[in-house]
Amino acid sequence: MAVPQQVQRTLSLNERLFRLDEATGRPYLIATRCPQCDCFFFPRRALCAACGGRGLEETVLSRSGRIWSYSVSHQAPPGAIVQPPYLIAQVELPERVLVHALITDCAPEEARIGMEVEITPMKVGADDQGRDIMAFAFRPVAAKEAGP
């Protein structure tokens, strides 16, 4: 008897930036780290911007950080998957990397510089095989208790 293969139900929108944990479905960001000076880069790069080193190593970034800066958008571009008003932020991770991302599960008036946030999956569509296409966003850590 053949062992049934598990069907992939979700896909990462961009596997060069992030991947989905197969067990939990949670996204994780893919970066590079310079072995010479220990600087991290997101998105990935081939050369270290700090020391010029080569041979950067692929690594996974922390799943939580703090809002470094944010903006409230009151207009959505054509084809947007979010409705205004929505939050766009620079999230600083412990590796001292800034990640540009949407902030979900947070009213614009509740956002604060320094607010602790964590990465969360966000469905942006489905492919022709019915698999969910997922992006990543960040949400306040307190939102974890209220949602999945």
Q: Any alpha helices (H) in 6-139, and if so which ranges?
A: none
Residue that has been written with the tokens 């930036």 in this structure: 17
Asked if 141 contacts 62 with a C-beta cutoff of 8 angstroms, the reply is: no
pLDDT tens across the length of the chain (148 residues): 443 444 457 777 888 888 888 888 889 999 999 999 999 999 999 999 999 999 999 999 999 999 999 999 999 888 888 889 999 999 999 999 999 999 999 999 999 999 999 999 998 888 898 888 889 999 999 755 555 5
pTM of this structure? 0.84
3-state helix, strand, coil in the chain (%, to 5): 5, 40, 55
List all residues 6 or more positions away from 1 whose beta carbon is below 8 Å from its beta carbon. none
Check residue 116 and report its DSSP letter.
Answer: E
DSSP β-ladder status, 57-60 and 40-41: unpaired
